[in-house]
A and B are shown apart, each in its own frame.
Chain A
Amino acid sequence: MIRLWWNETLRLVWCKRFLAVFPAFALATLLALANLLPYFRAYNVQTNVWDGVFGTMADWLYFRFIILLVFVFLTADTLVQDTSSNWSWLVLPRTNSRLRWWTAKVLSLFSAALIYFIIGFLVVFAICAMQLPYAGNFSEYATRGSEFNAGVGTLKFPAGATPFVLSTQMILYSAFSSAIFMMIPVTISIVVRQGYVALLIPFVWIFLSMFWQTNNFIFSIDLIPRLFYGSYFSSFSSRVINLSTSLIYLSLVGIACYLAGGYMIKRTDF
C-alpha cells in the first residue's frame, strides 16, 4: 500500500508540468509584493519577510486564481490520464485490488499537495527574503496593521502564534483543503472519463465562487474554495467558519468522496 502510494505520488510530482509550481508561486509573490510594498513605504512602518509570505499565501485572490488553479491543472486529470494512457492496465493487475489503488490515488493527492505547498512556500519565502528583512517574529505592520489603515494584507493571528508555527499550519491546512477539493473532480472522473470535465469542474467552481459569495450558508458554492484562502488566517474571516469547523467540514467531504469513489471504482471498467 505504501509503495503504491509512493508510486502514485511520484507520478503526480515527477513530471515536467509539476515545475509550474515555481512560476505560479513566484507570480503570486511578485503580485503580492507589488501590492504590499507601497503600503510599507507610505506608512513607514517596520516590516519583515513574514509580511510578504503571509501577504502572498493568505491572500484570497492570489490563492484562488493562481496557486489553486495551478494545483487543479496539475492533479485534476490524474485518473483520466491513467485510463486513457493504459497506465491503469499496467498498475491494476499488479495491485490485485482496485480499492487499494483508489486509496493510494486519494492519498497521493494529499502528499502531492503537501509537496506543492512546501515547495511553493520556499519559493515565496526566497523571493520575499530578497525584498524584506528577516526576523523571527511578526512585524509591527502585521500586529498593528489596522492602526495604519492597511486593510489589504493585514492578518489576524491566533494567540501565541509564531511565524514558524503559523507557516506550518498554513502549509498543512492549504495542502489538506486543496487535496480535498481535488477529490471532487477526481471522484467524478471515475464515471465521466473526460480530462476537460475533470479540469472544468474546479475551474468553474472557483470562478463562480468569486461572484456568488455568502458568509452564512454552509452549502454555498464558494464554501470550499473560500476555505483555501484561509479564513482563519485572513482578516476577512467568515462569520460561520473557523479552523475546527472547516476541518470537520473538509474531512466529511473527503470521506464522502473516498467512499463514493471506492464504490464506483469497484464497478467500473478501465
Chain B
Amino acid sequence: MNEVLQVKSLTKRVKQKVILQDVSLSVSEGEILGLIGPNGAGKTTLLKIVSGVVRATSGSVLFDKSAGIGVVPEQAALLGDMNALQNLRMLSSIRGKIGTSEIKQTLRRVGLDPDNKTAVRNYSLGMKQRLMLAQAIMERPKLLLLDEPTNALDPLGIIDLRMLLSELAQAGTGIIIASHLLNEIERMCDCVAIINGGKILRQVNLRSTEQTSIEVSVSTADDWGTLKRWAESAHIELEKLTPNKGLPRGILNTKMAVPQVIAELQSAGVAIESISHVGPNLEAVFLECAQLEGGVYR
C-alpha cells in the first residue's frame, strides 16, 4: 500500500530540552497508527510537527499536501459565538474545496444537526468533540491526526468514533491517534508506537498475521512440563504467566492456528484446561517498555 505519511529522523529541541529525538515512522493508506505514552512524552508535539504548526529542529515530514490533512486537537478550538455550520464554513472557506451541502452531510455523519442554530459555546463537551471531528474529516483528507479524540465522548460517542475511523480507513485515509487509553487504541488501531521521553520505544503490529499469541492453561504441573518440552521440540516460544486459580498457564508465540495447536498438544498428551487466541498484549508491551525505561510509569 502507498504511504500517506513518512516521518524520518525527526528531532525537536527547545533550548537545551529534547522534546523529540530521532523519531521515524510511516502511515500507509488505510492504516490506523496509535501513539501511546505518558503526559509529556512528545505525542502532541509530534502531531503538531506533522501538521506544520511546530517546526522540527531536524528531520523530515513527507506527505501529499494537496491531499490535505485533518486535525482534531485535544482541546476544542472553536468560535463560541458561531453555530456549528458557521464554524465549519469558516474553516472550509480557506481551501474552498467543499460547499455547504458537503458540510451539512459531514455534520449529520458525526451525529450533529446541521440546522441547529445554537452557538457552539453552549454545546456539551461531547458535541464540541463531534464538531471537531467533523471539521477534520469534512474535506476528505488523506491523513487524519487525532489528539486524545475520545476525551469528553460518552460511550455511544466512542463507539461512533470507532466506526467512523474504521470507515475512513477502509476508504484509504491514513490515521494517527494519540491517546492514553490502551483499551481504545488496541480496539481502533492496526499498529501502535509507544513513545516516551521523545523517543519511540517500540512499534507493535496489532494485526500481525505472521505470528499470533495463544494463551494455554493446563491441568497440572506435569502437563506444564510436557507442554514445555513440546514447545522446545517444536521451536515455539513459551512465556510463563502467573497461574490462574492454581492452573499453570502460558503464552505460545506461534504461526500455528489454534485448532492445530490443540491437535498437537492432545497428541503430545497435554491436558488442556483452556486455550484462546489473545493477540499481542498491548498492556504487557507497554509495561515492559516502562520497565526498560526505568519504570517511569509505576
Where the two chains meet, the residues of A that have a C-beta atom closer than 8 Å to any C-beta of B are 3-4, 6-7, 10-11, 14-16, 85-96, 267, 269-270
Contacts and interface: CB of A to CB of B under 8 A. Distances in A.
A94 B90 CA distance: 11
Interface size class of B (residues with CB under 8 A): 20 to 34
B93 A89 contact: no
B94 A94 contact: yes
B48 interface: yes
A90 B135 contact: yes
Nearest to A267: B55
Contact of A94 (B54, B77, B91): B91
B248 to A, nearest CB: 52
B93 A7 contact: yes
9 contacts: A15-B80, A86-B77, A87-B79, A90-B91, A92-B52, A94-B68, A95-B94, A267-B55, A270-B54
Chain A residues touching B, majority SS: helix
A111 to B, nearest CB: 15
Nearest to B79: A11
A16 B71 contact: no
Given A3-B93, A89-B48, A270 B77 contact: no
B91 A96 contact: no
Given A94-B94, A94-B95, 20 more contacts: A14-B81, A15-B81, A16-B81, A85-B77, A86-B73, A89-B77, A90-B71, A90-B77, A90-B135, A92-B51, A93-B52, A93-B68, A93-B69, A94-B91, A96-B65, A269-B48, A269-B53, A269-B54, A269-B55, A270-B54
Contacts of A96: 52, 65
Interface string B59-74: 0000001001101011
A89 B70 CA distance: 10
Contacts of B86: 14
Given A87-B77, A89-B77, A11 B90 contact: yes
